[in-house]
Amino acid sequence: MKNLTLASILILTGQFLLAQDCTAAFSFGETDITVDFFDESTSQAGDPIVSWDWDFEVGTSTEQNPTFTFPAPDRYDVCLTITTQSGCTNTACTEIETCTLPTTVTVGDCDANNEVPITINISDPYDAAGDINVSIDGVLVAGSPFRIRDDEPVVINTTVPGDGLQHVVVVSSEDVGTCSSTTYFTVPDCTSDCFLSSLSIQASGGITHTVDVGDDFFSPDNLTITVGDLVDFVWIGDGHSTTSDATSGPDSWNSGVIGFGSNFEVNITNPGVHRYYCIPHGGPGGVGMSGVLVANCPPSGQFELTITFNTSVANPAG
């Protein structure tokens, strides 16, 4: 029998623990009767996740990102157990309750104070939310929390500044932590007679490159392009994202975690090195599932630009 020193045992133990590093995690969409689940588990580079075992209490699935229909409105414990190539396993569980809060926002016209009246209509078809908080642009609406029932929708009449911008209404249940809704709306500009909106300037005239998004890989993962070229990410795997290391600016992007058959286009507007990664399986700086776009200037040194914008006239005299 081979003798192992304490140092050797510690090294081997460390290597084993390193190989056994994995974490199960998942998110989900609207908690209706039919719910979309999204795997967000992570594992070490070189040790990909090879199986996903979902337990929905009333059914199971082995898909990475399943869609499950529950038999009736109720509370359900949902668990995901992952296994990696090296045998690492980990389980994550949460309780979800069938609960949705369909929300509509009706936008009126500018008033004499350059404000815009809006009507927010919220319903609770499963009679599960109990009391709800409503906020507009992060500010809690006076009167929150509101009592809501399946036969008693909440209707809120209020005003917002007529600034021509997008605003957001967030509704959340006080009783069901997984029950919420987010609704965006845009109001007219009440102070400008004539204005531009949705201004976009992009380099154009290039060619299209395809990058395959597979299970734990991008192909090619190192691509040289010319500013103005289009990069079309095409999903041949399931449950991945293409997300730039850059978190802001014109050359930042995030497809979100999407599945097989999807595609996402990226148009690079500045020369340089643009790194990206998959949120569940990689990280910034080339960690795990990641790639690089190297954008060069056109040989002529000249760019062809496409400029688009919308115009609106709020006052005939404008």
Look at the alpha carbons of 60, 65, 71, 77 in this order and tell me if their dihedral is positive or negative.
positive
In a domain, 237, yes or no: yes
Q: Identify the bridge partners of residue 67 per DSSP, sorted by sequence position.
A: 36
- Residue owning tokens 């209706």: 32
In a domain, 37, yes or no: yes
In a domain, 283, yes or no: yes
pLDDT tens by residue, 259-280: 888 889 998 888 889 999 999 8
CA distance 259 to 268: 23
In a domain, 46, yes or no: yes
Instruction: Give the model's pLDDT for residue 308.
Output: 79
Q: Can you give the pTM of this predicted structure?
A: 0.51
- 123 and 59 housed in the same domain: no
Q: Which residue, 58, 79, 97, sits at the end of a domain? A: 97
Q: Could you tell me which residue, 243 or 308, shows the higher pLDDT? A: 243
- 283 and 246 housed in the same domain: yes
- 246 and 182 housed in the same domain: no
On whether the CB atoms of residues 218 and 240 are closer than 8 A, the answer is no
DSSP secondary structure string, the chain?
A: -----HHHHHHHHHHHHHHT-EE--EEE---SSEEEEEE--EE-TT--EEEEEEE-SS-EE--SS-EEE-SSSSEEEEEEEEEETT--EEEEEEEEE-----EEEEE----TTSEEEEEEEE--TTS---EEEEEETTEEPTTPSEE-BTTB-EEEEEEEE-BS-EEEEEEEESS-TT-EEEEEEE--BSS-SEEEEEEEEEEES--EEEEEEETTEEESSEEEEETT-EEEEEESSSSB--EES--SSTT--B--SB-TT-EEEEE--S-EEEEEEEEEEEETTTEEEEEEEEEE--TTS--EEEEEEEEEESSTT-
CATH assignment of the domain containing 118: 2.60.40.10
Instruction: Give the model's pLDDT for residue 171.
Output: 93
- 184 and 157 housed in the same domain: yes
In a domain, 89, yes or no: yes
On whether the CB atoms of residues 204 and 305 are closer than 8 A, the answer is yes
Q: Shortest CA distance to 141 belongs to which of 172, 111, 164?
A: 172
pLDDT level of residue 312 (50, 70, 90 thresholds): low
- 220 and 283 housed in the same domain: yes
In a domain, 314, yes or no: no
CA distance 152 to 181: 18
The count of structural domains within the chain is 3
pLDDT tens by residue, 103-151: 999 999 999 999 999 999 999 999 999 999 999 999 999 999 999 999 9
Q: Which residue, 50, 81, 97, sits at the end of a domain? A: 97
Residue 16: partners with Cβ closer than 8 Å, 6 or more residues away? none
Beta 208-214 vs 230-235: how paired, if at all?
A: parallel
Instruction: Give the model's pLDDT for residue 69.
Output: 93
Which structural domain range is residue 155 located in? Answer: 103-191
pLDDT tens by residue, 221-238: 999 998 888 899 999 988
Instruction: Give the model's pLDDT for residue 81.
Output: 96
In a domain, 257, yes or no: yes
Instruction: Give the model's pLDDT for residue 227.
Output: 85
Instruction: Give the model's pLDDT for residue 62.
Output: 95
In a domain, 313, yes or no: no
Q: Mean pLDDT lowest for which of 153-167, 184-198, 287-301?
A: 184-198
pLDDT level of residue 298 (50, 70, 90 thresholds): confident
CA distance 77 to 69: 14
| Largest separation between any pair of C-alpha atoms in the chain | 96
Instruction: Give the model's pLDDT for residue 261.
Output: 85
Mean of per-residue pLDDT scores for the chain? 86
pLDDT greater than 90 at residue 243: yes
